[in-house]
Amino acid sequence: MPKNTEIPKLGELDWSANAQAGSLSKVFEHAMKVSQAAKDWYVEKHPSRRVRGRALRITAIGLGVVGTLLPIITEITSKSGQPPTIAPGWTAVALVLAASCGLLDQFLGYSNAWMRYIVAEQRLDRHRLDFEYAWNELLKKLSVPPTEAQVVELLTLARENVKQVEDIMERETAEWVTEFRGALADAQRSLTAKQN
């Protein structure tokens, strides 16, 4: 899990015959808290990525439009024989700034992070629902008191839930690492090309 996500502790449980039901309930609550903590991290982080990504993309589009329209506006507003009212260099400035905003978003990964976070949230939700249904299916079949095999089956299911949550987060992190390395490689190629 990400550094600033507090991982709930399960602690030691009492597995004596009279306490098994309470211990199983604590295991279920723990597995659900792990799922919720992971989802909460993504829910908390994705709005800032969305806002920053959109701001850079909208700025890039706006500057691209300005850079495209400046020569036309200059042509329309200049009188025959008179110098243009808007220096042509501003077109290049607007287009360079537009490209820079797009590259900055790509390098910082705001838009990509936002999309990855949404996908991770959806995966976590879907997995949590699957876990809840599977847990309740097993509870329905539980004998009183539960057999050793039934307890082990529920514990295995809960552990698999926690492992799947970790896997979802690791997959998202691996995607981020791949994107970041790609952005660094692109930046390096661009610098190398400009130096040659």
Maximum C-alpha span of the chain: 99
pLDDT at residue 147 in the model: 84
Q: How far is Cα 195 from Cα 173, in angstroms, rounded to an integer?
A: 33
pLDDT at residue 4 in the model: 55
Query: For the chain, what's the residue count?
Result: 196
Q: What share of the chain is helix, strand, coil (3-state, %, to 5)?
A: 80, 0, 20
% of the chain exceeding 70 in pLDDT = 91
Q: Would you list the domain boundaries of the chain?
A: 20-190
Q: What angle do CA 44, 48, 49 make, to 5 degrees?
A: 105
Question: pLDDT band at 196, cuts 50/70/90?
Answer: low
Mean pLDDT of all residues in the chain? 85
DSSP assignment of 59-121, as one string? HHHHHHHHHHHHHHHHHHHSPTTSPPSS-THHHHHHHHHHHHHHHHHHHHTHHHHHHHHHHHH
Q: Does domain 20-190 have CATH number 1.10.10?
A: no
- Over the stretch 119-175, which tens digit does the pLDDT of each residue have? 999 999 999 999 999 999 999 988 877 888 998 999 999 999 999 999 999 999 898
